[in-house]
Amino acid sequence: MTKQKIEIEYPLATKSPNIIWEQISSAHGLERWIADHVTEEDGVFTFTWGEPWTEQDIRKAELVELVKFHHIKLHWQEEDDESYWEMRIEQSDLTHNLNLFITDFAEDDDADGLRILWESNLDRLHRSCGL
């Protein structure tokens, strides 16, 4: 089955890339809005959803590319294709505030669910740090 590329643009209430960079590039930052627990070791991020006393979903993503204050690109280890997910910071020409661009891939029948998941995560990002 082919994968569909999903792109989401999320406006941020800041002009400083330092604030958002910490949230998208570090295990501590990602833990605030993407998963219940995130660790990073040698370029491999381990994302855990759920608590230790319940059923957990654990996925690992390899760091593919990182350009400080611009973007981070990751690839889920269990995926055997060329898909990736990326978070990119760009400045708006109109407002001069920053926007966060998310790129991800989903099976055709999972695209709407993945888009809803990202929107929920972005709401958590906004609530956790006011961006």
Q: What is the pLDDT of residue 19?
A: 87
Q: What is the pLDDT of residue 1?
A: 62
Q: CATH number for the domain including 17?
A: 3.30.530.20
Closest of 93, 31, 103 to residue 65, by C-alpha: 103
Q: What is the pLDDT of residue 52?
A: 82
Q: What is the pLDDT of residue 129?
A: 84
Query: Can you give the residue range of the structural domain that contains 80?
Result: 3-129
**Model pTM?**
0.91
Domains in the chain: how many in total? 1
Low-confidence ranges of the chain (pLDDT < 50): none
Name the residue type at position 21: W
Q: What is the pLDDT of residue 15?
A: 83
Q: What is the pLDDT of residue 68?
A: 96
| Distance of alpha carbon 70 from alpha carbon 103, whole angstroms | 14
31: phi > 0 → left, psi -120 to 50 → alpha, else beta; which?
Answer: alpha
